[in-house]
Structure 1
């Protein structure tokens, strides 16, 4: 009996934890399919279910602003060349230890340009190996719009030089990659749509189950979104859901001072707590979800079939959340409110529209986890 194929899966989250959550969902699917997966994470440490996969934590870095221009270490000090060289060495040592059959990168080369100092040496080592691994890019449906000439050309060159395959975790019937990456036709032979990757661990329960009859307000796993929580607190009294429990889910990386401020602001009937591992179960049972428009949360809302109001994050260079939310709103799947100029009154109107409308359902492919595994299994069948 042959030994399981080994996967080394690199992920770097810099602001929120959406990239890590999607990577974790994919990892759980790969582990269930019999792959031996090692996930290497370069962001701050997060307690997350990897399905029994090995998780290696690199010295962590994060972004200090919405434009990802400045990266700092665990102590808040700006990273320097010595720090970069050390981390690049750790990553190469891990590569030599694991000797993977498949080398996967979350987002790169379509993002995470800041991490080229360690990713290019790793890719060069992989290509030069006696038995080069399959090299796969795992990327969401929508890329951030590029505002600098040559960036898309650089992405194309990296794909053509290093990557065997690109897994696009989306459905072209909703949006195809060429709408945000102009060189898509050049890599058509190695590009495969998987459908959306969805965390399906949520459990639909009876009356009294976690989240039952509640309004769940979430702002993702990053440090942005506090304004949404504050606005939702004020909007509650203006809605027909004023007597329901509203549960405010505060991101895992939000500073304690902000968390304490939110606790102090919460009126009766409003619960403020840190993000929970059973978030998807809360969505399965809730009356309404109010959230930012991150990839993972939107897809979990669709899977849970709960009524939803989405307030896409539009800070910094972000365009992805707004585009996806608008496409879904056009299908009548959910209500959308612009982050800029959002008031309690505007949000209350959107809440009423959502409560009066149908649950979130969409005829799009949400089998991205299983389909990704099927493709990787097919491709690795050629490895001897």
Structure 2
């Protein structure tokens, strides 16, 4: 067994449906490695091609995903529902990895504010870390907006877990835009410090503004797991929408079901490009004349940085509310146009597209967009307090 590393980071992330959590965690891993941490990137979701974690070391657990937007049923990579034996085997692998690495910081992305489905392995991991002789620091991180828990007992469970195990809570957002207190009703009962890192961005290389996407209408849905419906409707309406004479590029995402992707392709005519995945999607959006997308954390953070005109159609399926909250906050600042998915029509899209282009030069002053470096700095400060 090795000695504990004085600057090692054990970063656990579990994506279940989309890829936003994974991409945000990857940006944190890059920044932490650049700041001198030995980063171990422990991923429990389906692998994503071309994920850039910088100098971090990837540890892929047996992957699991949600069967639907309710997140109640979990499946393995072959579509089989996981059982207690599967859970026990993955838990044991995770605990063995932690004991092998002996990190100075255990970092759980979203848990315990989310990913309750993973308690079977995360609570044993937290117990192991809490009892470890080398006393690692324990950190929870989350995006800017939480999905509000309707049951008070679930919120009480979160508070008790945070207070029992954690030394620090990091919010990857800007308190000036939205506070954790706005979406977590028991915020005042949290004992560990809560710090705001700023919005976490993946580095964007726009190629000096030249290349694919330049002057185009770029339609995207992140990983694509839940974007098929709105993208197919856009493809169908495209000939009658504004800027139909421009090139339209649909990037369906690596996790979009084949049937949904084929439907989008069936509506593609002259001047339409349909692609399954683009590792440089952020750069495409930065070069675009107009972006039409869902309102996930990473996409909107990239839009804020690039200044691209944007229409967003927030995902609101299942229990998800965070995309609509985030989109409405930015729309009120005049930075983008929102079309609720249930209101998607030729008229609402036409209005939103013209509004977005007219607002493309609007900026939001003072929003902290340096969250990856901010996270690395706060982790360093945490170790220095020891």
Hey, what does 1:310 align to over in structure 2? 312
Q: 1:343 aligns with which of 335, 341, 345?
A: 345
In the TM superposition, 1:95-110 aligns within 5 A as: 95-110=98-113
Q: CA deviation at 1:11?
A: 0.4
- Indicate conservation of the 8 Å contact 2:216/2:248, yes or no: yes
Post-superposition shift, 1:223?
Answer: 1.3
Q: What is the number of equivalent residue pairs in this alignment?
A: 381
Aligned match for 2:125, one of 122, 125, 128: 122
Residue 379 of structure 1: which of 371, 378, 382 is its match?
382
What secondary structure sits across from 2:342 in the alignment?
coil
Cα deviation for residue 198 of structure 1 reads: 1.3
2:147 is aligned with 1:141: no
Match of 1:86 in 2: 89
Mapping for residues 76-225 of structure 1, pairs under 5 Å: 76-187=79-190, 189-203=192-206, 205-206=208-209, 208-225=210-227
What stretches of structure 1 move > 3 A for 4+ residues in a row? none
Contact 1:301 1:360 in 2 (8 A): no
Give 1:355 deviation, angstroms: 1.7
Counterpart CA distance in 2 for 1:82 and 1:220 is 32
Q: Find the partner of 1:239 among 216, 238, 241.
A: 241
RMSD: 1.6
Q: Give ranges in structure 2 of 5+ residues lacking alignment.
A: none
* 1:257 alignment counterpart: 259
Decide whether the 8 Å contact of 1:234 with 1:344 is kept in 2.
no
Report Cα offsets for 1:40-76 as digits up to 9, x if no partner.
1111111211112111111111111111011111111
Equivalent residue number for residue 42 of structure 2: 40
Check if 1:72 corresponds to 2:75.
Answer: yes
The residue matched to 2:106 in structure 1 has which SS? strand
Task: Specify the alignment match of 2:8 in structure 1.
Answer: 6
Structure 1 residue matching 2:311: 3-state secondary structure: strand
TM-score, length-normalised on structure 1?
Answer: 0.96
1:144 counterpart SS class: coil
| Structure 1 residue aligned with 2:329 | 327
- Tell me which of 59, 66, 71 is aligned to 1:63: 66
1:230 aligns with 2:207: no
Q: Which runs of 5+ in 1 are unaligned?
A: none
Q: 1:156 & 1:31 partners in 2: Cα distance?
A: 30
| Structure 2 counterpart of 1:273 | 275
Report the Cα distance in structure 1 between the residues aligned to 2:257 and 2:315, rounded to whole angstroms: 19
CA distance in 2, matches of 1:50, 1:332: 33
